[in-house]
Structure formats: structure tokens, C-alpha cells
Amino acid sequence: MFRLPVFGILLTAVLLSLPGPAGASFAVTEYAPVLSRLYKDKQSPLASSYRISFDKSKSSAPCLTAYTLTGTAAELIRYDCTRLPADNIFSRSRSENDGSLKELAAVFNGLRHNNDDKPGIALVNDGTIDKIYADFINNASGTAFGQSVFYNRGFVKELNGDFVGSRLNNRNPERPLAAGAAVVNAAAGSISLVNVNVTDNRLNNPGGTENSIWLNAGSVSRMNAVFAGNRVRGDFGSSAVLLNTGSLTSVKGIFSANSVNGEKAAAGGAVLNEGRIDLIEADFVDNRLQTASADTGGAAVRIPRQGKLFTIRNANFIANTAASDSGRVLGGALSVSGTVDGLITNPVFIGNGARGRSADSAFGGAVYTEKPLTFSIDGKQNAVFSGNYTDNAGISDPNAFYIDKTSVVFSVRGNGIYIFDDNIRGSGYALFFNGGGSGIFRLNNTVYNASKIIVREGVLQLRQGPYGRGGFSAAAGLSLTAARLDMHNGYRDRASFEHLLCQNCEADIDVNIENMSADSFEIGSSLTGRVALSLHVSADDDIRGRQPLVFASSGSFAANRESFKVKKVYGSPYMFDILYKEEDGGLKKSWSLVMNDTPNPDYRPAADTPAESTPDPETAKDTAPEKEKTDMPPAAEKSVSQTMPDCRGNPGCLFFKALNRATSVIYLIIAGTHKITDTTLTAIENALCGFMVRLNKAVSFFAPEAEPAGETPAGPKAAKTTEPSV
């Protein structure tokens, strides 16, 4: 049985003392438990508060305006819905306190507003409100210019609340409207601090010029928010869940299970920044973006040409998808055509996709950019790009990046690893890997068509990934400065470049004695500097006197016998010399490995191991360990999320439904390949762990209230839980 806490009792008393309109039955006593639950995370320490409840479902009144505020009193007003809703505006001209209100605490439930001329279904602020503690539940509107549940043209120091189940439907597609189903912060509006949960809201605005759940055209200093299960549809103009055309200093929180349909016009997904955002520190899970004919991209974050962003920090982009029926798709999770002046730090991109209906229409499964970007990791976690893809008319490609005639920098501060399980594509682009002395850049797939690749003070590893072999295709040039190219992976790799520049550089290569082959370099035009080689020999066989192993070739005039040298040898009892050869008048040059007579000072013979005895079949039958279960996950189209209950209006349920789907995607990626590395798995686990910590904090207020001391709740005792550690 629900036990009403002290706050609920006090709130009930306050509500019962408020006058109500004639003929209205508010049933405040029945509504008090709901108020208590909703206010649990936002109880105010101030005594002089306005606490107002509007619940149309409990009232026989045909329609309720929100309120009239005079600064000294709160008054419920009944009015005819066909009248202009002027009574719910708080302004200086109507206030006895010069337009300033200390605090407002209210619940607005089931309000309807169908007037074309006035914004704000529940609340309009033209003055100054220090603190708002309010919940906006199941409010709806037909057509209204600049419509929203809360419309702010004044100043608000704090906005705390829940926006749940709002419905805004423009039935006049001929009239261009700007709308945010939950909140519009107009150009003149300013909000210092936002702490909100925005869930299960809908906007259908066929004629809309700006279509969103939250539209910020003014200024917001700090936003801590959870956006889950929201839906936006707008045929024309910009569409997004959070649409920023003004100034937003920081956005922190979670965006999960949101969808945007832009139909005929360009759209953004969870966040569309057409103004300025200084910081995004959020998780983006299972957000969907769809257009019918226009170019689109960035189901999580889109920055168009007029937008400016400074920093994205500690963000996880998981299972976000952008698609278009006939337009181009530019980035599944992140799409950048504007300016990013700062860093994208500690990023994780897993299972994001860009889908196009025609050939060559989807670019960048995780990231598309036509402006310079800088990624950075600080050593606390690795950066992962795994399971991202593009789909062009049903042809899938494991792709993370499309870089369009610009450059991308990947830097490391402290120890850290970038893991690229997906390929990198683009046109006329450059890659910079700055390792900071200890950073590792692991390519488990191919880099295509890079004009230049520059590695400084780090290790560039070529590894075997779940979708292909790490390496380069049609790369123009590789520059290694105080860096190492590591091709030691047990496979025969080929590093092909037009140019190779080595300044204090090294390379690790595999030498296969059984097949008399080795990893190789193919340099088309120029080879400058001297590469110090570390050889990893597959067996300790004596191949002295055998044929040379060719490992490098070049057409460079500058290349000579000193271009390569052997620094170390692992796994062989003898050292190796380099044999240099010129052909065709010196234009074609090659380098080969030849085992010499010099003992290898680093050689350590393998320890002798006793031969394995053949066990008795009957004994083995009794002592054989039970086979470990290796059940494969169900098919992606039969995700567990499809069997979950309806989550409408339940943010916690929506979060975990989205997380379940994202986790299923990650599990399918991992289970579908036997070559994924332990480091990749650890990085994914750390990313999910950090996400769960933030998720737990975000939805902690949905947990049931603690039972009073001395009372035992019915049913089994709940196990004690602790927050997961990262």
C-alpha cells in the first residue's frame, strides 16, 4: 500500500486550501500520491512557494487555463477554450512584484489549448521567476503559433521538472510554424539552470519551419536533461528533439529512443545545433533519424554549416541510425558541416549506421565531417569505433568515418588506445595520429584514399579486426616521426604508400619461416629517412643460405641500401642482414632479409614441454569437464526489446529498453567474430559501465521510496545493490 510521505501531506493541505472554480471537482486527495512521487526529486527548501495543481481529468470544467500570477497569489481560473488564453501569462505589467516571483511549484495535467494566437499551453513567462518546480503531464494543443507547453520570453534562474506525454499537432500544413512540443525558450528568453526529464512527447508539424520537442532560440547556461522516447515529425525546415538556434553553454545527460522524421527537409536527430553549444557531455542510445527526400545525417548530433560547437566530452554513441529514402545520409551518429573548435574527448561509437536507398548515398556509419575535427583521449579510457556501418541499397560496409576534403586528428594524453574495428573512408583527407609518447592507434580495418597519414610519438598498429585486415588502400603518404609502425600480428600485411617519410621511426614486421615470406612495404615515389626494423620470426629454424625474403620495394630516387636496418630479432637464434638490389637503372629498388651467422643476443629458446599422454577413453568420459554453454544471441530482428512492455510515459522503462537494444547490437557484434581483441572488449565494457553509472544517477528518482524504519514490506526482501564501479 502506498504510504504518503510528509511532503505529500503538506502539499495536499496546501492544495486543499486553494479556491477552485465553481462546478470543478479536483479530487486533490486522490492526486496527492502522484504529486508526492513527482516532487520527490525537486522538493523546495523555500516556504513561500506557489503550489498549484491542474488536473483536467479530475474536473468537470470544460477547460482550464494555467493560472494568473500576481506575485502575491495563485488563482485557479475557469474559462471557455474559444477565448484568448491571456490569463496564463506572467508578466511585469500584471505583477504586483515588478514581474518577479520567488518560486513556483505546480503540476499541469491534461490541459488543452487550441488557439492560434497565443503560445504556451500551460505556462508563459514574460517576467522573472527565480525557481520553477513543475511537472507538465499529458498536455496537448492543436494549432498555435510558436506553441509549446512552457513558453519563456523572460528570465528563469532554475527550471526543474518533468515534461511527459505532451502532444502538439499542427493541423494547418499551409501555415509555417515554429514549435517545441515541451519548451520554447524564445530569442528574448534566458534560463540559467535546467534540470528536466523530457519523455514520451510528440510533435506533428507538417508546415513547420522549426520542429522540436525543445526549441532554444535564446540562451541557456546549463542543461542537465534526459530525453527519452520523444517523436518529432516536420515536413519543412529543421527538425530535432533538441533544436538549438541560440546559445547553450552545456548539455549533459542522456538521449535515448528518440526519433525524428524530417520528410521533405533536412533534419537533425537528438541534437541539432544551428546556434552555439560550448559543451555536450551526454550518452546517445538508439536514436533514429529519417527523411523522405532531403539529405540528412547525425541521428545523435548534427552541426550544420551555421552551427558552432566547442567540445564533446565523455560521450557514448550507441546504436543510432540515420536514413533517407532518396537523399544522401551524412553520418549515422555525428554529422559535422559547421565548426567544432574544441575536442571530442574519450569517444565511443558502437553499432551506429547510415542507410541510403541508392548506391553511394550513405557516408560515414558513425561520423561524417567536412570540417576539421580533433579527437582526444586522456588515458582514463580507450576510444572505440566498432560495429558501425553504411548501407547503400542493401550493400553493407563496416565503416566508421567519411572525411570529406578535410583533416581529423586523433591525440592521446597519457596512456590510451584508439581502436578502429571499422574502416575509414573519404576524399582528399588527412589523418593525424599524435600519441604523446605512449599512445596506440590500432587499425583493425582499412584506411582508404587518405592523402596523407602522419604519426607522431605513438604506435600505429595493423591488426586483424572482425571485418577485415588492418592496412591502407591507395594512401598517398605515411609520415612517421618518433613513431612505430607495428605490423606484428601473425598475418602477412602489406603497407602500400606513394610516399614514406621516416624521422627516428621503427617498424615491427612478421617473418614467416615456413612460407619464406614477410610483411612488406610498397613505396611508389619517395622513401626518405631510415626505418629501424624489429623482426618477429615464426620459428627458430636455421635458414642460413636460403633465398632472401623480399620485404620492401620502392621507385624512389632517394632510397638506398641505408633506408632499412635491422634493430632487433625475436624468435630466431641468428640475426639478419638486409640485401639491397637495384633494377631498371636504379629506378626500381628492393630490400630483402637474409639470415647471417651472428648469434642473436635476444634469442630465448622455447622451454621443452613433455609429450601429452593419451588418456583412457572411459576415464576421460568420467572426468571430462562439462561443456561450457555458448548459446548464440537471437537474431537482431528478434531483439528482446520487442518483447518488452509498453514504455509510454515511463522514462526508466524507455531508458532500459533502448539500452537493451543497444546492448543486443553490441553482443551481436562481439559474438559474430572470434577475432575481436581483449582490449576492445575491455573498452566496450568500460564504456557501458560508465554509461550505466550516469543512467543510474539520471533515473534514481524513479526508484520506490524507502520503507519507514521498523516496517517490513510485503514480498521477498530486495537485495542490496551498489552502483557499478568503472
Asked if residue 294 belongs to a domain, the reply is yes
Asked if residue 58 belongs to a domain, the reply is yes
Q: What is the pLDDT of residue 133?
A: 82
Q: Are residues 349 and 273 in the same domain?
A: yes
Other beta carbons within 10 angstroms of residue 414's beta carbon come to 12
Asked if residue 658 belongs to a domain, the reply is yes
**pLDDT band at 60, cuts 50/70/90?**
very low
Asked if residue 560 belongs to a domain, the reply is no
Q: What is the pLDDT of residue 66?
A: 36
Q: Are residues 358 and 290 in the same domain?
A: yes
Query: What's the whole-number mean pLDDT along residues 339-362?
Result: 94
**pLDDT band at 134, cuts 50/70/90?**
confident
Paired sense of beta strands 348-350 and 316-318, if any? parallel
Q: What average pLDDT is seen over the chain? A: 74
Asked if residue 385 belongs to a domain, the reply is yes
Say how far apart CA 476 and CA 499 lie, in whole Å.
6
Distance separating the N- and C-terminal Cα atoms of the chain: 37
Q: Are residues 143 and 234 in the same domain?
A: no
Asked if residue 89 belongs to a domain, the reply is yes
**Which residue intervals of 672-700 are DSSP H helices?**
678-698
Say how far apart CA 127 and CA 95 lie, in whole Å.
9
Q: Which one of 162, 183, 217 terminates a domain? A: 217
Asked if residue 398 belongs to a domain, the reply is yes
Q: What is the pLDDT of residue 473?
A: 86
Q: Are residues 87 and 190 in the same domain?
A: yes
Residue 359: which residues within 8 A CB-CB, separation 6 or more? 392, 393, 395
DSSP bridge partners of 137? 109, 164
Other beta carbons within 10 angstroms of residue 437's beta carbon come to 13
Distances in whole angstroms, Cα of residue 418 to Cα of each of 366, 621, 637: 15, 46, 30
Give me the amino acid identity at 381: Q
Does the pLDDT at position 247 exceed 70? yes
Window from 79-88, 248-257, 286-295, 510-519 with minimum mean pLDDT: 79-88
Q: Are residues 329 and 194 in the same domain?
A: no
DSSP states of 97-130 as a string? TTTEEEEEEEEEES-EE--SS---SSEEESSEEE
Q: Which one of 195, 217, 239 terminates a domain? A: 217
Angle at 291 between CA 289 and CA 297, to 5 degrees: 50
Q: Are residues 268 and 390 in the same domain?
A: yes
Say how far apart CA 689 and CA 262 lie, in whole Å.
33
Q: What is the pLDDT of residue 603?
A: 92
Q: Are residues 261 and 364 in the same domain?
A: yes
| 347 phi-psi bin (left φ>0, alpha ψ -120 to 50, beta other) | beta
Q: Are residues 101 and 138 in the same domain?
A: yes
Q: Are residues 204 and 239 in the same domain?
A: no
Among candidate residues 556, 493, 565, 549, the one with its CA nearest the CA of residue 523: 556
**At which residue does the C-alpha cell 567536412 appear?**
370
Q: Are residues 262 and 210 in the same domain?
A: no
Among candidate residues 463, 380, 378, 379, the one with its CA nearest the CA of residue 419: 463
Query: What's the whole-number mean pLDDT along residues 572-581?
Result: 96
Model confidence pLDDT, tens digit, residues 161-197 = 899 998 887 766 566 565 788 999 999 999 999 999 9
Domain with 95, as residue range(s), is: 49-217
Other beta carbons within 10 angstroms of residue 546's beta carbon come to 12
Describe the crossing of helices 6-17 and 28-39 by its angle, rounded to 10 degrees: 130
Q: Are residues 256 and 345 in the same domain?
A: yes
Identify whether the C-beta of residue 387 lies closer than 8 Å to the C-beta of residue 412. Answer: no
Query: What's the whole-number mean pLDDT along residues 258-264?
Result: 83
- Number of domains, the chain: 2
Does the pLDDT at position 146 exceed 60? no
Total-model pTM: 0.76
**At which residue does the C-alpha cell 629506378 appear?**
587
Q: Which one of 217, 234, 257 terminates a domain? A: 217
Q: What is the pLDDT of residue 369?
A: 98
Q: Are residues 162 and 282 in the same domain?
A: no
Asked if residue 376 belongs to a domain, the reply is yes
